[in-house]
């Protein structure tokens, strides 16, 4: 039975995707190394997250993207749990939303 030949454009797309994945992995490794270096510094008495976000190139952008993707999960979790709440709890949530809109 003849082997299926992968078209050249599919191979190129896979190579591009692999290259982008490798770049992302390198970036995440660099961010992780910077954070671990900071955390392992014996002179640091108190962890300063703002310092880390400010002084680690790309960390704040990654953190913002992560939080935004996590936001969708939080919203879905809240939607799924609404039916389990009492009327009083739902009204309380509605009041908080109305206050926020003002």
Distance CA 16, CA 56 (A): 27
User: What are the tens digits of pLDDT across the range 60-70?
Assistant: 999 999 999 89
User: What are the tens digits of pLDDT across the range 63-91?
Assistant: 999 999 899 899 999 999 999 999 999 99
The pTM of the full predicted model, rounded to 2 decimals, is: 0.57
What is the residue whose two structure tokens read 């703002």? 50
Q: 28 near 57, Cβ under 8 Å?
A: no
- Segment 4-10 mean pLDDT: 61
Residue spans per domain, the chain:
1-57, 60-102
């Amino acid at each position: 039975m003849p082997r299926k030949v992968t078209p050249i454009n599919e191979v190129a797309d896979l190579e591009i995707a692999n290259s982008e994945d490798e770049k992302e992995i390198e970036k995440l490794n660099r961010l992780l190394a910077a954070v671990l270096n900071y955390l392992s510094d014996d002179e640091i008495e108190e962890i300063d997250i703002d310092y880390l976000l400010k002084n680690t190139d790309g960390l704040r952008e990654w953190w913002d993207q992560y939080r935004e993707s996590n936001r969708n999960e939080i919203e879905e979790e809240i939607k799924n749990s609404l039916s389990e709440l009492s009327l009083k709890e739902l009204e309380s949530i509605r009041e908080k939303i109305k206050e926020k809109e003002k």
